[in-house]
Copies of this chain bind each other. A is one copy, B any other.
Amino acid sequence: MTVSRVLRNRGDVSATTRERVLEAAKTLGYVPNKIAGALASQRVNLVGVIIPSFGNLVFPEVLAGISAGLEETGLQPVVGVTDYSPEKEETVLYEMLSWRPTGVIIAGLEHTDAARAMLENSAIPIVEIMDVDGAGIDSVVGISHQRAGRHMAEAILRAGYRKIGFLGTKMPDDHRARKRLAGFRAGLAEAGLTIADEEYYAGGSALAKGREMTETILARSPDLDFLYYSNDMIGSGGLLHCLDKGIDVPGQIGLAGFNGLPLLDGLPIKLATMDACRREIGIKAAEIIAGRPHSGVIGGELVELEPRLEPGDTIRKS
């Protein structure tokens, strides 16, 4: 009835009745039931967001971006966590789609067949984020981790390093880390080089882990002149280890990480890294979901952001 019109600010209501309704609503403590509203209008102000984990600093930053991008749109994110498990992703996705959200933002391009089918059939905007190396379903916003790895390799070689070690996570389902490493290898290969030694770990990214691993790899391969880390946290741990041991960075050994965590500015010297554009990715993804109804875009957008190399102080000037 009229009440509905008032509460939704749809025109054609006299100021008087409007007042009366608003007052009644307030005194009754009336809160509309969006479930019924959504059912009737076939519109839902929820956006499904699926990420692997809250533990990796990167995802909260993306969420912050999404949250900011959704700010004035009346859309709310619903977050699901997969723990890097494709099966769990499938479950969470099913759960979300059953709420008929306005759109879905999902990390990564790798999904089970069933998940992919659900996304394709959902008839809502889908934005796969973080990664552009592969085929997307609808829209894609991210960076090329492969090229990020390659560029880092090139920068390192340009600076004259030759005996290069890699330190990263063991996680087989972290496709982005895997692609970065592949790109890195490819970059080295062009100069006829391969990774001289590598060290893997499981578990969260942490300074202490980085220290440990660095100690291990340097004990085993003391002649390494560069260490490439799969993230800034372990990279910074490595940096601290080197400084502790009085190793000359970047002279004797160079270091680089990945992510561009602003968190860590303020270490004695600044770790070389590559910005993953986390926040921008979130904002852009949110905009695509929010904007789709307005713009008449049908096909998905592909937004490739450019990770900036931040040379810091741990790569020798070439």
Contacts and interface: CB of A to CB of B under 8 A. Distances in A.
Nearest to A237: B266
Contacts of A268: 240, 243-244
B81 A78 contact: no
A314 to B, nearest CB: 16
Contacts of A59: 60
A122 B33 CA distance: 12
Q: Is the interface of A mostly helix, strand, loop or mixed?
A: helix
B80 A79 contact: no
A210 interface: yes
Interface in A7-49: 29, 31-36, 38-39, 44-46
Copies of this chain present: 2
A100 interface: yes
A118 B99 CA distance: 24
A121 interface: yes
Contact of A35 (B39, B121, B266): B39
A36 to B, nearest CB: 5
Residue among A33, A44, A54, A265 having the largest count of chain B Cβ atoms under 10 Å: A54
A290 interface: no
11 contacts: A29-B117, A31-B118, A33-B100, A39-B39, A53-B64, A54-B64, A54-B67, A57-B57, A63-B79, A67-B79, A240-B267
